Amino acid sequence: MSKIAVLGYGVVGSGVVELFYKNKESILKKAGRDADIKYILDIRDFPDSPYRDKFTKDINDIVNDDEVTIVAECMGGATFAYDFVKACLMKGKNVSTSNKELVAKKGAELLAIAKEKNCNFFFEASVGGAIPIIRPLHKCLAANDITYIAGILNGTTNFILDRMINENMDFSDALSMAQKLGYAEKDPTADIEGHDACRKICILSSLITGKHIYPENVYTKGITEISLKDVKFAEKFGAAVKLIASVRKLENGKIIPMVMPMLVPYENLISRVDNVFNAVMVCGDGIDRAMFYGRGAGMLPTASAVLGDVIEQLKTEGNGTDLAQTWVDCDNSEILDDYKESSFRMYFRLAGSDLSAPEGAEIVENGDEIVFVTEKMTISDAEKLEADFTAAGAEVKSKIAVLEI
């Protein structure tokens, strides 16, 4: 019988345990072998839990137990989780994680250890929650040259923008609601500033290039400057404001990953993704495009993805590593191009007198403020245009790119 350890008994970890025992019979049938959870690691006490006999506070109980061959890491963060996952991999134990920060920061190192120790480091749950995207990219779509990925990878920001769009709430009120409902943390910085989405697009970028892309090298802008006015003017333009994480592969072999708010025209399905749902559009030379959609977070959706990896590990236990799901470390300057050379139509909202839109622009509003969408230009040229408006006495209230695929 295979023995499993779960690291962390918070939202995701408790969901993994709950879902495992709820669906144990079907899980083991799909895995083709018997298995059980032997340990649950947590520093807290759970005397009333039906699984109280499985708890331990010492990672060494798990690391040094040869019966444990599969570990589900659900702790979060990149400090203790990194040390514990590394120790388990060094012992040849397969690891499944939902920890996007860990994968985005330490993925290359941990994948290399897994390869050396002939075990697997899986992380389907690190991007998109319940949405299967990691395995499809490196298996189902392996015959394709993936040229572009774009989508909504953070449910918290999508919920906030959805409330602004559909309930006319301003940003601060929508954020407060997200916190009350448990969709946003007390400190929501990682979500609203785009860091969470950045980690996820780094993981997808690393998968399609085979090179580790680090978050600190990716242009990232959150939604804190988006106003209710921008949301309403976007509607007049026939678009919805969404926080979009994307990566584009260029003809020179380099990539441009980025995270930023964008106007998504209604003809694009991503514009219709509401509430806490996520969506990822993948473009390749064989498939044209494919859309992946579903719940991007939550206890059971994320637990579902973690256990999907566990089942895969049970199926292949003892048969070596999945070499397709890997990447190597690199100097990011060798593979990243300048994001400012990306081209988009640009939405501008300006305040001031005697203002006019550039030639070829589509004017959305021409009252106390002038609002327009330009023809396609580089981000660099958009910054120059912004500087010209400012020099002419205008106040640039907003500058947002338009998503086009």
Active site residues: 200
Q: Write the DSSP symbol of residue 374.
A: P
DSSP for 234-245 reads HHHHTEEEEEEE
**Cα 81 from chain centre:** 19
Nearest to 133 by CA among 279, 289, 318: 279
Strand extents, DSSP E, 63-141: 68-73, 94-97, 121-122
Burial of 309 (0-12, 13-18, 19+ CB in 10 A): buried
Q: How far, CA to CA in Å, does 191 sit from each of 251, 259, 339, 381?
A: 32, 11, 21, 29
Q: Identity (one letter) of the amino acid at 389? A: F
Where do we find the tokens 């495992």?
A: 20
- Angle among Cα 271, 76, 221 to the nearest 5 degrees reads 40
Sheet strands (E) in 42-116:
55-56, 68-73, 94-97
- Angstrom CA distances, 224 to 67, 124, 227, 228, 274, stand at 49, 29, 8, 11, 18
Is there a contact between 249 and 146 (Cβ–Cβ < 8 Å)? yes
End-to-end CA distance of the chain: 49
Burial class (CB in 10 A: 0-12, 13-18, 19+), 61: middle
Spatial distance between the Cα atoms of 101 and 104, rounded to a whole number of angstroms:
5
Q: What letter does residue 269 receive in the DSSP assignment?
A: G
Token digits of residue 247: 């990566």
Contact present, 215 and 160 (Cβ < 8 Å): no
